Structure formats: C-alpha cells, structure tokens
Structure 1
C-alpha cells in the first residue's frame, strides 16, 4: 500500500513539475521578449528599415511575434503608428545620420505606403540622407523608395514597372459543378461583391468602376514618382506601357534608379556617409528596436502634464458583431470604446481611424449610432486608411469631418445578401433528401436545402431595399446632401480618395496626423496627449483564446502560401450568407 501511495505522490509531483516548469519558461520568454527598454543608439547611426512583414494599423501586443513560439503566429508585424513615430523621432535624433531603405516587399495598401512615404519626405527636411537599395523592386516598394536621395538596384536584380492590374476570382463555375446556387438579393448597380458567385466574368458596370478607380490610383502613383525623380508623368506612363524597363540597366538608363550596385558597395557608401572607417561595421539600429524608444508622443512634448486628451479609435478589419480583435472590427468593442470616450471629460476630441472593407450591416449600424451620438457632444474626425468602403464608410459618414488619402479606397454605398440553394448538391450529388413540418408559411425561410420561393425572395429584397434606404439616408444626413444625390453616386460604386473629395464623400485629403490636428483644433485645445483605443488585450489574456485558431491559421498559411487570400475569400462566403452585408466588392492587391 505504501508503494502505491508513493507512486501516486510521485506521479502528482511529476505532473506539477511538468506543468509549472513550462509556465515559468514561458513567463521568462515573454518577459524577455516584451521588454520595452529603449535601445541605445550609437553616434553616427543609420536607421535600418526593411519592410518584409505585414504593416498593420497598430503594432500587435504579441511579445513572441518574432519567435514563432508554441505554434503562435510568429509573423513579425509592425503598426503604422510605430513606424511613423520612429521616422519622426529619427528626424531630430542627433545620433541618427540617415535612413537605409533595404529591400522590401510592401505588404500594405496604397494609403499606408503613402503615409510612410510622406513621413520620409518630412524626414529629408532635416537634411539627413535616405538611401534605398533592393535586389527586387516591386512597384509598391519602388513608389516608397523613389523619395530617397539615391536609389540603387543590384546589377542582376529585377525592376518591376508595368502598371496596375486588378483580378477577381470567380467561383460560379465551381459552385455549378457542386450543385450550389448563390441566391443574390442586392441594391446597387455597381455592388459587385456578389458577382464572383453568380457570374464568370466582370459585369460592364463593374469593369467601368474598376477602370475608373484603378486609373485614379495609377495616375497618383505616377505623379508621385514624377515629382520625386524629375521625370515627366507621360514618360513614366510610356515606359510602363511599352515594357521599356526589362533589366536593371534600363531602369538606370531612364533615370528610375541612380546606380547598379552590390550590397557591399552600398555598405561602403553608408560608411562614407556616416564617417565610419572601411574596417569597421556600420552603426545601425533596426526599426523594430528603435521604435521602442519612439512611442507616439503628445503633440506638445513640453505640455506632458496636460489633462486634455485626443483619442484615436482604431477600427481595422471586417465588421461583425461581438468583440473583434486587432484585425477585425467587433461592433461591441468599438461602440463601447467610443461611448466611453464620449463620457470621458478629459477626452476633448476623437479620431476614428477606419481601415475596413465593411461587413455586417447590423454591426455597422451599431457603430454608426455611437459616432452620431458622439458628434453631438465633442468633435469626432474620421481618418481613412487603405480602405474605408461600404460598412467602413457607413461608420464614418456621421463624423464631423472625413479625411482620406488620395489613394484610399472608399464609397461602395450599397447592400446585399446571399443565400445558398444547395438542393442539387444534396439531391443529385449526395443523394440526400429532406422532409419535415412547419407551423408557418415562412418558418423555414432561408433553408439551404431548397430554393427561395418568389414570396420569400420579395421579403428579403424588401429588407435589403430598406437597408439601402437607411444607408443612403445616413450618408445624406452626415454629408449634408440630398438622399437623391447620394443614391446617384452610391449604387455600390467604389471611389478613390481623390474622386471622393470631388463628389463630396470626404472633406479633405490628408493623413492621420492631419486628423489629430483637426480634432484638436475643433476642440479648441493646443496642448494634449494622444491615447489609443480600444485597449489592446495583454498577451497572456490572448494566449489561451487564440492559441488553437493561430495554430490552424498558421498551418493553412504554410500550406497555401500566396493563395491564402483565396482561402479567406471562400471562407468569407459563409459569413456573407448569414446577414445582409455592407461589404466592398473585393480586395485590391497592387504588387
């Protein structure tokens, strides 16, 4: 018996040790990884910037992001907030002599790239240098790098300069083979989010709008490069349109770059610029490390004791009900944050940072309500990121003022619903049939095992029509326009920020800092601190919640690679089949 109890005791102790030691180890790793200790920057240093990771609105609160520990999402990711703050700090940091833009793949939208580009232009006003180098220049990275004092490419490198394109994946053929019919109810001639499920190619209306907004974005792209490189816009258009840039030598010949150099030659150049001997290493600091000492500062550093606050509410990702997270907008979380700030007397103004293609119409309306109520109490200014379309525009339209980047994607004022009819799949493909009873004619409305009846379709169409009427009415009231006018520029049509300014959907072009200053000015405050909401969950709180989901997502990403976005599109179909949607037609990808 004693031996039995000894065995049980040893087992229990073993389990405790096996459980506690890993937790202690995890805690140690987290503590080490999450250290916010400011990095020591040596004199004559170079700020090394390499964008080979996704750029989010805010840096995720994940100290293990760079470690890939225990199956967690190990992708490095920095927020636009920290990137801009770091470049701004480097401008006045006496130890930073210049910026080295190293080979990058811009995993960001055009508006995000624009904000970083403008920050680099501002940095150059300090008379410090910016040098760019890459073995491969994508169009996104070249647009950013074109502001550098010197742009270099590897002699054997790749230079992409061929114009923009937009591609849509159509699923109707696959659905037909599976015996699935997408039953679409929508309002909006241009509301093309439903097209991949009912067509095999773009409609004429959709082709018209894509040509329009893609052309607007491309024109702005060429204009920016033209100003930076001193090359006429017509020449740049011609270079791309005729495929003139085939080799690095072509890029040099037409003055898109300043030289063909290997990495060692670039390093020698940086040593000369910083006064470092050839025999010594360059004093450099990585952006990820430097940002720890460059947190977003109050607008007036001398007034850090001020009780005034300007709050930034980050609304990023697709809109749905519930809490959401750093990459999605939960109506409960965002509306609660806005409500809290509305009641906080220290908060004098609010900036709603919107980067969203839309989503649930109901969830969008919940957030819109809080914006409208807040507007009656204190200034609320919208800053649009890469995209603020459909539901993303709906939550913005009630604000005092809307500020967008020229290449922001916005508009898409429309609404739709999709219900699947899987009768042929069940009956013909799988041999499954259904039968049952109901107490009312419409008790099983939306049942996927059969098609909608004409009466049921009319009920749903009436619901979508009402949603569109509410949408256009909200925009008309928020923008001071007639509902008839909003309907004429609505219909689900997508616009760029530049186009939206001309038709009155936004008030001015600018960045998030412009929105902060606008909120402060309208609030009548000159000294203030900046605070960010919703509050990010601590890593330990998110650890248990997202572990299994992150493991699954990472596995799927590893298997699908670049095709992961198609998986996300297909996955999104099930979400769109639940409630009416205010959603942008598709993701805009410009390489």
Structure 2
C-alpha cells in the first residue's frame, strides 16, 4: 500500500510539473512572438540581404509560430509580398543601406509575384545603389528576378536552369476507373478544363491550344525582360534555351547570362569592398524580415501622411468558398464584411481589391461580386490582380471601375462546371455494399452518389450550370462594357495572361498593386492618404491553437511528400469540386 501511494504521489507531482512547464513554455512562446516586434538596429554601410526560400503570400502571416524554431518550423518568419515591397521601397531612401545582396532563392510562387518584386528592385536601382546576386543553383524564377542585378554571380560548380517553360497536369481517370468511381461532369465552356483530369487521360485539343497560347505569352514576357536587363536579343535567348546551350557554369558565363563564376567567400569580399569594409571585418548586413522592424528614419512618402483620407486595400487570396476565410483562402462572409466595412467608413475614399485566386464556389463568388457592385456605387473600386485572378477570381473582379493586372497574371477562365461522383461500382463491385430506400418524388434523391444520374437529372443540372454561365457572362459584359455575345466568344472557360487579357478587353492596363493604389487615389481626387488593409488579420492569441496545428501538419505533409505535395493539393481540390457548382481555374499552373 505504501508503494502504491508513492506511485500515486509521483504521478501527481509529474503531472503538476508538466502543467507548470507547459504553461511556462506557453508564456515563453507568446513572449517570443511579441518580442518579434522589437526594433532592429541597422548599422551604417549595411547590405540588405534578400533570400526567398519560402512561399510568398500576399500578406505576412500574423502567426505566433512563424519565427519560432520548434516542431520543424522556421527560425525566420516568412514575409508577405506587402512587407517585401515595403522593405525594398524603404531601403531605396535609407542612407544606411548601401545595396542589396540576393542569394539562394527558389521563388516558390507565381510569376506575377516575382514580377512585382522585380519591379521594386528596378525602382530601387534608381537610387544608384548596387544589387548583387549570387547562387549555387539558379532556378528560372530566381534568375528572372536576379536578371535586374548589377552583377550576377554563379558558383563555379553550380547550376543555372535556362530551358523554357512547361506545364503539367496530373490525370486521375485511370485511378478512378480502378476504384470504380465515375466523375459525372456538367459544364459550360469548351476550354473549361478543370474537370479533364477526372474524365481524360491526356489534354484535350482545346485545352492544349489554350495552354500553348498563354504559356507562350508568359515565356515571351520572360525572355523579353531578361533580354532588356542583360542586353541580349530575345530570339538569341530563345535559341540558347531551345538548343540546350546553357549546361555548365562556363556556358552561362560565355553567353553572358552571368557576370562571373565565384565562390561565396569571393562574393563576401566583393561586398566588403563595395561597403568600405576591411577584409578582416564582417559585412554589416541586415536580413529582410529584420529590416522591416528597423527604426531607421526614411523619407516619408508625402501621399501617405494623412489619416483623414484613406485607401483601403482588401486582400482576397486563395480559393473561394462560403463562410469565413483566412490569409490563404477567400471566405465569402469574411470578404463581404470587409467590403461592407470600407463602404460605410467615411474616411475610406477608395478601395483596391487585391485578387489572387483561381476561383471556387460559384455561389460564394456571386456573394462577393454583389458587395463589390454595392461598394462601387459609393466609392471607386480598383482591382489589382496577383498571380492568378481566374474564373471566380475574375467574377469578383469584373464589377470594379478598373482592373490592373501584371503581364504574366493568369486570368479569364470565364466558365462554370459541376462534378457529381457516381460510386456505384465502388460500393457494389469493390466493397459489396448495396443501398435501397423509398422517396416521395422523382428527384428526391438527386445527388445520390451511389448511382448514376438519370437523363432527366442530368438535364436539370445542365440547366442550372447553363443559368450560372449566363449570369457570369452577363456580369462580365456589364462590368466591362461589352456585349454578352462578345464575352461568350472570349469566355468558354479560356485562360489568358494579363497581356492577352489587355488586348481583348478583360483588363484595363498592366501594372502592379502600387499602380492600382495610385489609380484609386486619382479617381478619388486624393493628394494625401493613408493605406489601410482588410480583412483584419487574427491576433496572436486568436491564432495560437489553429496556428500550431495547421502550420505543423502542413509542413510535415510537405516534408513527407516533397514535390508530390502538389498532387496531394490537387486531389484535395477535386474533393471540393464535388460539393457545389464551381467557377474555378482549369488546374494549378506549374511552370517547370
């Protein structure tokens, strides 16, 4: 009995200690997260170090675990595009920053995001400060960004990818056939190919045509801008890639894609010379995320000093669905609330709707479209398109006063579809499961996945989808000042780049988010204004539980699957398609 009480007492003490330690760790985590806002001191003659080895979102996540080195999370926080652009702009006029050093970046984002950062670097160079780029491996995305640098260096044994673009789709029909699942498709749009992976084993001719077209447009823009930056003819660059001429580091140097082959220590010596440091001393450098928190005084933009007049930037990023969303998904309720808030705020004189979305639920898209329409009636609304603003992403954009896209933004995809699985063979033949029941009407069990659709049911669903497409094209026609017949001719689910969309009237001009803000200010007749962001990001405490579980689980899955994570995400997306009619991009565009 005595031994029993000893074990009980030890257990109680152990549990108590775990609780106390856990509580202390919790306080430490919160304190560490809060301390992340401490101002960083920037030394004179510093180099701003830029390294993009993380996915770039539209806004920096307000996540307490984003910069804490535990459970596999990164030590450095991942900055959003908004803070990246702010930091580069700040460095341009900061006398303590002598130049920028970029290295080892993988650009795990769409091309329009890279374009925005590249343009910010071009603007930075107007200050006369240097930009040096170095890498052991240049992906095509990072090389495109680095091409604006004054000097581009490659490791003598390194790799530079310069081979052209490719886009690949994962087809699941064979797997579904083996499982005994039939994807029943109801759609409108010759090019609305989001459903093709479910019913085909290769690309349709129409889909191949559209992908060839927009991929060619993106590649032409890629080569043109590199050619301008490196003073090499665009056709010459095309031949380099098409003939496989850039294989070794020496090839990149010979054909002037890089300025030198150097090791990291040689680059650091070069940076010391540029900043007036002796060889024996360390370089004064500051990381991009630390620089954002610096207290360095810079010249304030005179347009952004007044709090009486405001321009609201409403971020709509991710797939569109009903209910609440977050930084990486568009919830119709969340965005609607944000639009209602800025619409009724007398201090907000204009709105920039930042759209980075492949679309999603047609119903949720329409809910947001309605709020955009109401907002436009009382104050200017300018849309700024990010990497992708297609299908539902274009639907929520089309009501704006003006649409601004990057040349390599993916947009259009005006179409609608629905997917209903028929799992009869899986249940009956594979699992031996059968169903039986009664109903009070012919269509009472419409949507039952245990059997195929009847011809009458398919006709009803097709009518609903046709109605949705009619609403879509009417909304676009009204918003763009075109006839519905014309919108139908360029619609049909076809995907376009920003450059192509400009020519056919789907966007008004090419530019970035700063251009959209300037356009909003002009329409509202504002000389001075303050930028405010919506929807409000959740606080540290609000995100504590969900941040841990979601962040850790996502990173573990990514680590296990590697490059196959994209397939996992695609399969998850397909399950969402099977719920409601969709206004969604044909698939995720992956440039290899």
Please say whether Structure 1 and Structure 2 have the same fold, judged by a TM-score greater than 0.5.
yes
Q: CA deviation at 1:538?
A: 1.0
**Contact 2:64 2:543 survives alignment (8 Å):** no
Q: Does 1:59 align with 2:56?
A: no
Counterpart for residue 22 of structure 1:
22
Q: Does 1:390 align with 2:391?
A: yes
Counterpart for residue 182 of structure 2:
181
Q: Which digits, 9 at most, give the CA deviation of each residue in 1:212-233, with x for residues without a partner?
A: 0000000000000010000000
Is the alpha carbon distance of 1:437 and 1:548 closer, same or farther for their aligned partners in structure 2, counting shifts above 3 Å? farther
Counterpart for residue 307 of structure 2:
306
Q: Distance in 2 between matches of 1:298 and 1:402?
A: 30
Q: CA deviation at 1:192?
A: 0.3
Q: CA deviation at 1:304?
A: 2.9
Counterpart for residue 41 of structure 2:
40
Q: Distance in 1 between matches of 2:267 and 2:555?
A: 35
Q: CA deviation at 1:542?
A: 1.6
Counterpart for residue 131 of structure 1:
132
Q: Distance in 2 between matches of 1:413 and 1:66?
A: 40
Structure 2 counterpart SS, 1:465? helix
Counterpart for residue 470 of structure 1:
471
Q: CA deviation at 1:439?
A: 1.3
**Contact 1:415 1:581 survives alignment (8 Å):** yes
Structure 2 counterpart SS, 1:485? helix
Q: Which digits, 9 at most, give the CA deviation of each residue in 1:35-58, with x for residues without a partner?
A: 312211101110000111111100
Q: CA deviation at 1:552?
A: 3.2
Decide which moves more: 292-301 or 275-284.
Answer: 292-301
Structure 2 counterpart SS, 1:47? strand
Q: CA deviation at 1:293?
A: 3.3
**Contact 1:387 1:410 survives alignment (8 Å):** yes
**Contact 2:192 2:493 survives alignment (8 Å):** yes
Q: Distance in 1 between matches of 2:296 and 2:356?
A: 21
Q: CA deviation at 1:432?
A: 1.0
Matches within 5 A, 1:427-442: 427-442=428-443
Q: Distance in 2 between matches of 1:68 and 1:180?
A: 43
Q: Which digits, 9 at most, give the CA deviation of each residue in 1:150-185, with x for residues without a partner?
A: 001001000110100000000001111111100000
RMSD: 2.3
Q: CA deviation at 1:294?
A: 8.1
Q: CA deviation at 1:561?
A: 1.2
Q: Distance in 1 between matches of 2:478 and 2:134?
A: 49
Is the alpha carbon distance of 1:20 and 1:477 closer, same or farther for their aligned partners in structure 2, counting shifts above 3 Å? farther
Q: Does 1:402 align with 2:403?
A: yes
**Contact 2:48 2:97 survives alignment (8 Å):** yes
What are structure 1's unaligned runs of at least 5 residues? none
Q: Distance in 2 between matches of 1:103 and 1:154?
A: 11
Q: CA deviation at 1:23?
A: 2.6
Q: Which digits, 9 at most, give the CA deviation of each residue in 1:123-152, with x for residues without a partner?
A: 001000000000101100000000000001
Q: CA deviation at 1:298?
A: 11
Is the alpha carbon distance of 1:589 and 1:296 closer, same or farther for their aligned partners in structure 2, counting shifts above 3 Å? farther
Structure 2 counterpart SS, 1:289? helix
- TM-score, length basis structure 2: 0.96
Q: Which digits, 9 at most, give the CA deviation of each residue in 1:540-579, with x for residues without a partner?
A: 2122235444443333222111111100111111110010
Counterpart for residue 419 of structure 1:
420
Counterpart for residue 263 of structure 1:
264
Counterpart for residue 368 of structure 1:
369
Is the alpha carbon distance of 1:214 and 1:374 closer, same or farther for their aligned partners in structure 2, counting shifts above 3 Å? same
Q: Does 1:443 align with 2:444?
A: yes
- TM-score, length basis structure 1: 0.96
Structure 1 counterpart SS, 2:42? coil
